[in-house]
């Protein structure tokens, strides 16, 4: 059983199939690649026992019958063969039959940019998340959604899907990067939801993740609660700046401080590092510093999200817009200790007097009672936090003093016993 195929074609196919192969499995099928060809078309398939990935490539199949070759043998064949073409030989294996799509399966047309949307949502997925449903990407009538519990990305996509489902992490699809429109089939078999995605010559079949995906719509704040917006005009400068900021777990907080004419980007733990740039600020004056996780902010800007809608108190999620959808993240609540000083503006007004003399007086802007109250409350909060920090520091010092006293008492007792033993010996 032989097959002639271009080395570059086989190498690209193995990059995709390698995401489904289990090279350390004791089962030979799970660490092998299946070859099936008709004429000039060849289909290469790999499976991990749950998911199956098939890639269509061009080759000289001739009268080839179905055979399989171990993945590592194919990789070694590519490395050891000179020239642009390799001859693959294998053996027949009892390859498991792929679940056939039933006639009553639901078929959904996928848009041409479906693969791109999954690639945008993939960085938000946390594969080590304890909740199984959050390890994948959710599909619904509202589009493609991914979350890790700290950030959420919703990408609008016209999917006529009867009920939402969660795909497992699409590692093979992200590697293959298929282009063009495709189809999604969904059906049930033995109390499990199965799916098949076909885009061009790429086929991916497996089981949908069990469990309910979070009701993410409740996380999105209402428009009326977001009272100001920051629009960044030079996101590339911030991206370059963030890549130079050292890590500071667990929050990696980056402050976006509103200053006259724009914003100042300041790492919370490295206040000496600062980047000022022009930005458009619309709405209320923020009373709290807007701080976001460095990596979340970096992903937002890299995907084109340059408009940040937030609440002036900083207690509700921030919505980033400007990209392909909506990026939601919870701001980090910190004290505004690194907020730059704003320039004080003095206003003067001229007052006419009914007599022959005129005078110029400095007009005093009336104080808004609500703003004065909010400032007083914020000052009180700062003082309370300072008192709590000081009390915690004092408590720690008391504990250290008690431990030192106990240590001295133990040393005194040990010295006394040693003296008694010396006296007894004499």
Summarize pLDDT for 88-106 with one digit per residue, the tens. Answer: 888 888 888 888 899 999 9
pLDDT computed for residue 411 by the predictor = 85
- Over residues 223-237, the mean pLDDT reads 93
pTM of the model: 0.73
Summarize pLDDT for 278-318 with one digit per residue, the tens. Answer: 999 999 989 888 999 999 999 999 999 999 999 998 889 99
Name the token pair of 91.
């053996």
- Over residues 10-15, the mean pLDDT reads 93
Give the mean pLDDT of the chain. 86
Q: What confidence category does residue 237 fall into, taking pLDDT thresholds of 50, 70 and 90?
A: very high
- Over residues 233-247, the mean pLDDT reads 94
Summarize pLDDT for 158-197 with one digit per residue, the tens. Answer: 899 999 999 999 999 999 999 999 999 999 988 899 999 9
CB count in 10 Å sphere of residue 332: 18
Is residue 211 predicted with pLDDT exceeding 60?
yes
Closest CA to 271 of 257, 259, 250: 257
pLDDT computed for residue 361 by the predictor = 39
pLDDT computed for residue 256 by the predictor = 93
Contact 312, 284 (CB under 8 A): yes
Contact 310, 281 (CB under 8 A): no
Local structure of 129: helix, strand or coil? coil
DSSP class of residue 197? E
Summarize pLDDT for 340-380 with one digit per residue, the tens. Answer: 444 444 344 333 433 434 333 333 345 556 666 666 777 77
Closest CA to 142 of 208, 88, 219, 85: 219
Q: What is the rounded CA–CA span in Å between residue 382 and residue 314?
A: 15
Of the CA atoms within 13 Å of residue 289, those in its CB half-sphere come to 22
Interacting residues of 387 by C-beta distance below 8 A, sequence separation 6+: none
Summarize pLDDT for 401-426 with one digit per residue, the tens. Answer: 888 888 888 888 888 888 877 877 77
């Amino acid at each position: 059983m032989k097959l002639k195929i271009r080395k570059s074609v086989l190498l690209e196919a193995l990059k995709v199939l390698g995401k489904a192969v289990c090279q350390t499995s004791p089962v030979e099928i799970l660490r092998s690649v299946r070859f099936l060809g008709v004429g000039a078309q060849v289909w290469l398939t790999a499976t991990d026992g749950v998911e199956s990935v098939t890639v269509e490539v061009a080759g000289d199949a001739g009268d080839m019958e179905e055979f399989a070759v171990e993945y590592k043998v194919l990789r070694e064949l590519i490395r050891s063969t000179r020239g642009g073409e390799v001859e693959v030989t294998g053996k027949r294996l009892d390859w498991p039959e792929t679940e056939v799509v039933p006639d009553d399966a639901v078929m959904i047309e996928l848009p041409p940019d479906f693969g791109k949307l999954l690639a945008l949502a993939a960085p938000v997925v946390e594969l080590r998340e304890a909740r199984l449903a959050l390890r994948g990407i959710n599909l619904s009538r509202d589009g493609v959604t991914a979350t890790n519990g700290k950030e959420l990305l919703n990408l609008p996509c016209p999917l006529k899907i009867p009920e939402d489902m969660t795909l497992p992490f699409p590692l093979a699809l992200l590697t293959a990067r298929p282009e063009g429109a495709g189809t999604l089939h969904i059906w049930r078999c033995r109390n499990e939801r199965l799916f098949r995605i076909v885009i061009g010559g790429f086929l991916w079949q497996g089981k949908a993740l069990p469990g309910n995906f979070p009701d993410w719509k409740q996380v999105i704040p209402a428009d009326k609660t977001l009272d100001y917006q920051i629009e960044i005009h030079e996101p590339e400068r911030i991206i370059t700046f963030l890549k130079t900021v050292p890590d500071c777990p667990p929050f990696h907080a980056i402050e976006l401080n509103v200053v006259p004419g724009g914003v100042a980007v300041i790492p919370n733990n490295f206040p000496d590092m600062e980047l000022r740039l022009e930005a458009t600020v619309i709405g209320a004056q923020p009373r709290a510093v807007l701080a976001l996780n460095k990596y979340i902010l970096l992903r937002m800007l890299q995907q084109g999200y340059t408009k940040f809608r937030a609440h002036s108190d900083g207690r509700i999620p921030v919505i980033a817009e400007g990209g392909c959808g909506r990026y939601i993240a919870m701001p980090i609540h910190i004290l505004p200790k690194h907020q730059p000083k704003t320039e004080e503006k003095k206003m003067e007004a001229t007052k006419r007097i009914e007599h022959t003399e005129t005078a110029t007086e400095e007009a005093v802007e009336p104080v808004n009672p609500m703003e004065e109250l909010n400032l007083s409350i914020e000052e009180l909060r700062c003082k309370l936090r300072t008192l709590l920090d000081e009390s915690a520091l004092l408590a720690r010092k008391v504990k250290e003093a008690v431990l030192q006293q106990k240590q001295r008492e133990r040393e005194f007792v040990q010295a006394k016993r040693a003296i008694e033993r010396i006296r007894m010996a004499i």
